[in-house]
Chain A
Amino acid sequence: MLRISNLSVSYASHRVLEDLNVSLKPGSFTALLGSNGTGKSTLLKAMAGLIPSKGSFYHSEHGKLAPQKRGDLVAYMPQDAGATSSLTVLEVILLGRLRSLGMRVPECLQIEASESLASFGLKSLENRTLDEISGGQRQLVYLAQSLFRNPSILLLDEPTAALDLRHQLLVLDRVANHCHRNDTVAMAAMHDISLAAKHADRLICLSQGNIVADGPPEDVLSEPLIRDLYGVEADIIKGSNGTLHITPLRAV
């Protein structure tokens, strides 16, 4: 269990997150929803220990998590597809286990990194450099790197933003399966509500730095909530297999 208590983050005099309290279960995949600028990325960065924040983080297995201690437990994937460089795809994956790398890279680690790429259908790209592949492929590479780290806490900022429809489904399925199988605490900021409802076990909705709704997708999602969160009128239809489909109709 990861317990976040009284989390507040401010940029200069502007308070972005206000006294948030959240508990996240291992093996659960939580989607973070909210309009632009409501603090989704800020929450993920604060959890990763990348920005200064007030509040405490407590992990049932690892105890109190100081920001500098989180680097070993947390894999955080930023929103953008990343700067290009002449690092190869396989090197990027290997960097996921930075602390295990010495002057020689053990063969077992090379094979594991290669397998990790193969599990995302990226084996053929392993010796290509980051500037030779597309933005979507780069996002897949960074996602593979995040999972290769085998973290206790997985934080993804818009992990499907640069992906095509097929890869969006495959990737979220992969993330959900990974966290269920490895008891990982996973949280992803997302804009596609239908995808979030389909793959996440829990939705947390943020508005102006506060949690306004929290729970399983079928309990949380409602047309008034979407109207309040995004200023959009939407239809919510429940499919035959229980999946919620959200169709945005018009901006209010």
Chain B
Amino acid sequence: MTIETSTYNEVITEPSAYAKMINRRLFWLFLSIGLLLTFTLTDILVGPAFLNVFDVLDALLMTRENTDPTVYVIVHSIRLPMTLMALIVGASLGIAGVQMQTILGNPLASPYTLGFSAAAGFGAALTILFGIQLPYLPEFTVPVAAFLMACLACGLVYGFAHLRGVTAEIMILAGIATLFLFQSLQSLVQYMASPEVLQEIVFWLFGSMLKATWFSVSVSAGILLIAVIILARNSWKLTALRLGDERARSLGVNVQHLRIKIFFVVSLLTAGAVAFVGTIGFIGLVAPHIARMLVGEDHRILMPLAGLMGALLMVGASIVSKLISPGYVVPIGIVTAVIGVPFLFSLILMRKKSHW
């Protein structure tokens, strides 16, 4: 008995169902861009200096000669770098988070998981404790130390994975061990510090946009741009990785090579984001989940949306941090979870199907 394969044949009436799905996803992408522009403008307009909204807009849109010089300096030297830094750090952490969850195949992964942020914190705390300063560029001592220590953590995890096999399990294990190591070292430094130095260390660890300068904005933006280009070129391979290592390999993906490459990109993104502004929690964990709930796993759209969601949460938190206590800016690291958790919970409750 032979069953004809025509038993299976169906008539295709709607070949554009895929195109419709992509359009729905692009809608979320463009909506997020619109929202981000609104949030960014709002963040520039609010601040502890109680400036007139129209003066701020004048300073933004007109030349220096046609505006109040004080307003111009506040907007261009303080508010703009702070807002742009919030945007870039949020986007970097959102993108780093989504890639970390993808290469480790774990929904709990974030830039924190592998200890990079803890290492950056230790690097910063160490230089603050010993008062070390770079010759000629003393103001960059803390960011450089934080960046280098995050790279050292990355080297530790990679070295361990290189010896035992570049699998998600080994990397998570090595990363969590690194996290605990640097958290302990951070605590040791804090224990050794005098009350004044301790206050300075704790303030750095909170994460604050007040540390933002045009230089830090350009460095972080440069790193983000390079990372986005590399990640975009690998977006289909990263999507394939969501089918599991074996299936991705059977589709021709060199999983080990991809995992190492993305691991280094994510390390660089995280180090670039946290070195200048301190450890910012939660964004890297929650932004990818929100993006995944809205657009699924296609990394061509998921990666930029995770970045946009990170930026939205971060700029949103920046606005709230300025409004909580008028005339004073609460460190943004304290506000991010307070803003993000209710948002994430409401999305999980509204959505009927699982997203991971």
A interface list, Cβ under 8 A from B: 48, 50, 68, 71-72, 74-78, 82-83, 85-88, 90-92, 95-96, 98-99, 101, 103, 105, 107, 110-111, 113-115, 118-121, 123, 126-127, 129, 131-132, 142, 169-170, 173-174, 177, 241, 243
B246 and A50 contacting across the interface, CB-CB below 8 Å? yes
Q: A50-B249, A71-B251, A174-B5 are in contact. Are A95 and B236 (CB under 8 A)?
A: yes
CB of A77 within 8 A of CB of B250, answer yes
Taking the complex as formed, is B311 at the interface, i.e. its CB lies under 8 A from any CB of chain A?
Answer: no
B152 within 8 A of A: no
Nearest CB of chain B from residue A245's CB, rounded to whole Å: 12
B247 pairs with A82, CB closer than 8 A: yes
Report the bound CA distance from A177 to B7 in whole Å: 13
Nearest neighbor of A128 in chain B, beta-carbon distance: B353
* CB-CB nearest 9 A-B residue pairs: A71-B252, A76-B250, A118-B10, A83-B244, A85-B242, A101-B236, A87-B297, A111-B15, A110-B18
Contacting residues, chain A, for B243 (C-beta < 8 A): 82-83, 85, 87, 92, 95
A177 with B5: in contact, given A76-B250, A123-B12 (CB under 8 Å)?
yes
Q: Provide a sorted-by-A list of 27 A–B residue pairs whose CB atoms are within 8 angstroms.
A: A50-B250, A71-B253, A74-B250, A75-B250, A85-B243, A87-B298, A88-B21, A90-B18, A91-B239, A92-B243, A95-B236, A95-B240, A96-B251, A98-B237, A103-B232, A110-B19, A111-B12, A118-B9, A118-B11, A121-B8, A131-B354, A142-B247, A170-B3, A170-B5, A173-B2, A174-B5, A241-B1
Chain B residues with CB under 8 Å of A91's CB are 239, 296-298
**A-side contacts of B232, CB under 8 Å:** 103
Do the beta carbons of B236 and A87 come within 8 Å of each other? no
B242 to chain A, nearest CB (A): 5
Asked if A127 contacts B21 (CB within 8 A), the reply is: yes
Known A-B contacts A98-B253, A110-B18; the reply to A173 vs B9 at CB < 8 A is no
A142 to B237, CA, bound (A): 17
Using Cβ atoms and an 8 Å threshold, which residues of chain B touch A76? 250
- Asked if B203 is an interface residue, CB under 8 A from chain A, the answer is no
Determine the residue in chain B with the shortest Cβ distance to A72.
B252
Instruction: Tell me the bound Cα distance from A118 to B296 in angstroms.
Output: 23
Would you call B79 an interface residue if the criterion is a C-beta within 8 Å of the partner chain's C-beta atoms? no
The reply to whether A95 and B8 form a contact with Cβ atoms under 8 Å apart is: no
Asked whether, in the complex, the Cβ of A121 is within 8 Å of the Cβ of B10, the reply is: yes
| CB < 8 Å neighbour of B353 from A68, A78, A129, A169 | A129
B9 — which chain A residues lie within 8 A by C-beta?
118-119
B21 to A, closest residue via Cβ? A127
Query: How many residues of B sit at the interface, in one of the four size bands?
Result: 35 or more
**Contact bitstring B308-320, A, C-beta under 8 A = 1, else 0:** 0000000000000
Complex contacts, B236 vs chain A, CB 8 Å: 95, 98, 101
Contacts of B7 in A (CB 8 A): 170
Cβ contacts under 8 Å, B296 to chain A? 86-88, 91, 129
Q: A77 to B7: give the CA distance in the assembly, Å.
A: 23
A98 to B251, CA, bound (A): 7
Q: How many A-B residue pairs have CB under 8 A?
A: 122
A48 to B246, CA, bound (A): 11
Cβ–Cβ contact A95 & B239, under 8 A:
yes
Chain A residues whose CB sits within 8 angstroms of the CB of B10 once the complex forms = 118-119, 121, 123
> Which residues in B have their C-beta under 8 angstroms from that of A174?
5, 8
Residues of chain B within 8 A (CB-CB) of A115 are 12
**Bound state CA distance, A99 and B292, in angstroms?**
24
Contact of A170 among B8, B17, B18, B297 (CB under 8 A): B8
> Which residue of B has the minimal Cβ distance to A77?
B250
Question: A71 contacts which chain B residues (CB < 8 A)?
Answer: 249-253
Report how far A68 CA is from B249 CA in the complex, Å.
Answer: 10
**Residue of A120, A123, A170 with highest tally of chain B CB at under 10 A:** A123
A50 vs B248: C-alpha distance in the bound complex, in angstroms?
A: 11
Query: What residue in chain A is nearest B7 (Cβ atoms)?
Result: A170
Q: Which of B236-280 contact A (CB under 8 A)?
A: 236-237, 239-240, 242-244, 246-247, 249-254
Supply 13 further A-B pairs (C-beta < 8 A) apart from A95-B251, A105-B18: A50-B250, A71-B252, A72-B252, A75-B250, A76-B250, A85-B356, A86-B297, A90-B18, A101-B236, A119-B9, A121-B8, A127-B21, A174-B5
User: Counting CB contacts under 8 A, is B355 at the interface?
Assistant: yes
* Residue among A78, A90, A91, A170 with most chain B CB within 10 A: A91
Point out the residues of chain B lying under 8 angstroms from A127, CB to CB.
17-18, 21
Q: A48–B12 Cα gap in the complex (Å)?
A: 33
Contact between B250 and A98, CB atoms less than 8 A apart: no
Residue of A nearest to B250 (CB): A76
Contact A48 B250 (CB under 8 A): yes
- Which chain A residues lie closer than 8 Å to B4 at the CB level? 173
Give the CA-CA distance A111 to B349 in the complex, in Å: 35
Chain B min CB distance to A178 (Å): 9
